[in-house]
Structure 1
Amino acid sequence: MEKLLALAGTGACMADSLSVLLTNDDGIDAVGFRALYDALADWADVTAVAPMDDQSAVGRQLSTDAAVHEHSLGYAIDGTPADCIVAGLEALCPDVDAVVSGCNKGANLGAYVLGRSGTVSAAVESAFFGVPAIATSLYVPGGGEVPWHEQATSPAEFRNATRATGYLLRHAVDAGVFERTGYLNLNAPIAAADDPVAPIEITRPSTLYDMTANHDGEGQITLEDRIWERMRADDFPDPEGTDRRAVVEGHVSVSPLTAPHTTEGHDALDGLAEAYPETV
């Protein structure tokens, strides 16, 4: 990656206090990113290593080369969130205490979303490095007269997300949270001016899946995730304890997750392996 080794010696991450690598997938100039940067920088040494532009829904896509540019907050990378983590932890800012990814404008809820989210994938990449990580996202309900992308334009609306992220960042490592957890996936409701602080609820990812595909018969397929509409209408069966239910009810959802894929014993599959290749 061009210039990485040269920039690694610039001392961007100071060691006097908790040092944090901050990334996202909306791009380094996104309002949620700046809201989180400002909130954390009040008490931590924060260095941005974030995509130059929007990299939403790229998952853990990785590049072989990515140009790096100096930025007033740290570094902007012509690449994906996973690129930013590898570049940051290997070359630009290798001695950080933790990684935070966010604050994403748009929730990352449900088991099926985790693999496609660039925000969450950055935290997963960090977990493979053994560095504690928090993925932080804001639930923007959408609907109504104001289009989804025109909502959550003020840093103050990210207050529930930035406050909860800072709290966990200050306390989770010393509390031993990351001894059994690879990363935390945090989703917070939007904060209105007079809203009280949203409480934290420890959750598990919902397993509800409602993707649809419609073929117009003329070579075009339209894909739609119906979950968001159902969340706005409170028309989804997720029980208490799931991430979606918590956020819709005004709580900050925090799911403790592991990065390596887990395996389970499977007698039927063991039997097939034992019978191979004699039965072919």
Structure 2
Amino acid sequence: MDEPTILLTNDDGIEAAGLRAVYEGLSEVGDVVAVAPADDQSAVGRKLSHEVEVWGHEMGYAVDGTPSDCVVAGLESLVPETDLVVAGCNRGANLGAYVLGRSGTVSAAVEATFFDVPAMAVSMYIPVREDTDFTAIDDGDLRYDEAVRATRYLAHHGLEAGVFDQCDYLNVNAPVADWGPAPLEVTRPSLEYEMTAERNGDSVTLHDRIWEQMASGDIPDPEGTDRRAVVDGAVSVSPLTAPHTTEHHEALDELADDYDPTD
């Protein structure tokens, strides 16, 4: 196929170093147009606005809205000829099944699938504890080489290889580049869940203990899962379908048959 048109978005904001790194890398394999939030929209999920302001940017368009806003505005109005949507590179990993619905990065990829456009969510793991403020990390100190290399490879080969005939989107997580060359590993989202909550007077502190376990390398995740792959130094690629999938449930069928709306 000819060079694909790639819509690039993120949730860290259009000025984020991770987005620019991916923009430059993808420009080697396609025509890249950024349609990204004007400011940080991390962890907003698939929040959607009614109307957003848009203005030109050297890489494409800045949008006063969420990642999902960017995808809808991009595919329906700004870049309707898009062949592939890439969201990222996010500063921080998006690993585990419980994270998928929270992440603005992943949500942008999911939004694209409802337009029948293949998509990739791309994130980079930074080995820090949960109590570290990601906004305090200087983007200039981060190297996105492994994330960019994997993203460029998958964008260049994934469409023609038929990858998206069997999945809706890819959730890609790379280890920090300082760890050295990282192989690609096909994974599934980990089901491990380590959220706790502690009451402190009138407040409750929510704590995700997975981050400190990852920082120490002591995680419960089995082989074949996304988190295990990244901690072991590989780029995790999970082929996923957009929510929500349904299965036939005989028990629920029986309940529906027995339901009496007059009772």
* Range into which the TM-score falls when normalised by the shorter chain: over 0.9
Residue identity over aligned pairs, in percent, reads 60
User: Which whole-Å CA distance do the structure 2 matches of 1:239 and 1:258 have between them?
Assistant: 22
SS at 2:61 equivalent: strand
- Residue of structure 2 equivalent to 1:3: none
Deviation at 1:233, TM superposition (A): 2.0
Report the CA distance shift for 1:279/1:244 in structure 2 as closer, same or farther (over 3 A): farther
- Residue of structure 2 equivalent to 1:207: 191
Match of 1:52 among 38, 53, 60: 38
Report the CA distance shift for 1:236/1:155 in structure 2 as closer, same or farther (over 3 A): closer
CA RMSD of the aligned region, Å? 2.0
8 Å contact from structure 1 (residues 128, 260) kept in 2: no
SS at 1:230 equivalent: helix
List aligned pairs for 1:38-77, cutoff 5 A: 38-77=24-63
Q: Alpha-carbon deviations, 1:22-45, whole Å to 9, x = none?
A: 000000001111111111123321
List aligned pairs for 1:51-200, cutoff 5 A: 51-143=37-129, 148-151=134-137, 153-154=139-140, 157-192=143-178, 196-200=180-184
Amino acid corresponding to residue 178 of structure 1 in structure 2: F
Deviation at 1:268, TM superposition (A): 1.9
User: Which whole-Å CA distance do the structure 1 matches of 2:2 and 2:236 have between them?
Assistant: 31
User: Which whole-Å CA distance do the structure 1 matches of 2:186 and 2:168 have between them?
Assistant: 15
Deviation at 1:265, TM superposition (A): 2.1
Deviation at 1:179, TM superposition (A): 0.7
Report the CA distance shift for 1:93/1:168 in structure 2 as closer, same or farther (over 3 A): same
Q: TM-score, normalised by structure 1?
A: 0.89
User: Which whole-Å CA distance do the structure 1 matches of 2:101 and 2:261 have between them?
Assistant: 37
Runs (5+) with no aligned partner, structure 1: 1-14
- Residue of structure 2 equivalent to 1:8: none
Counterpart check, 1:245 vs 2:228? yes
- Residue of structure 2 equivalent to 1:6: none
Q: TM-score, normalised by structure 2?
A: 0.94
User: Which whole-Å CA distance do the structure 1 matches of 2:160 and 2:151 have between them?
Assistant: 15
Counterpart check, 1:235 vs 2:213? no
User: Which whole-Å CA distance do the structure 2 matches of 1:66 and 1:278 have between them?
Assistant: 43
Deviation at 1:17, TM superposition (A): 2.4
SS at 1:157 equivalent: coil
8 Å contact from structure 1 (residues 140, 148) kept in 2: no
Q: Alpha-carbon deviations, 1:135-182, whole Å to 9, x = none?
A: 000000114xx8654546248611010000000000011111101110
8 Å contact from structure 1 (residues 22, 101) kept in 2: yes
Match of 1:259 among 242, 247, 250: 242
8 Å contact from structure 2 (residues 29, 156) kept in 1: no
User: Which whole-Å CA distance do the structure 2 matches of 1:90 and 1:254 have between them?
Assistant: 28
8 Å contact from structure 2 (residues 26, 155) kept in 1: no
Deviation at 1:205, TM superposition (A): 0.1
SS at 1:173 equivalent: helix
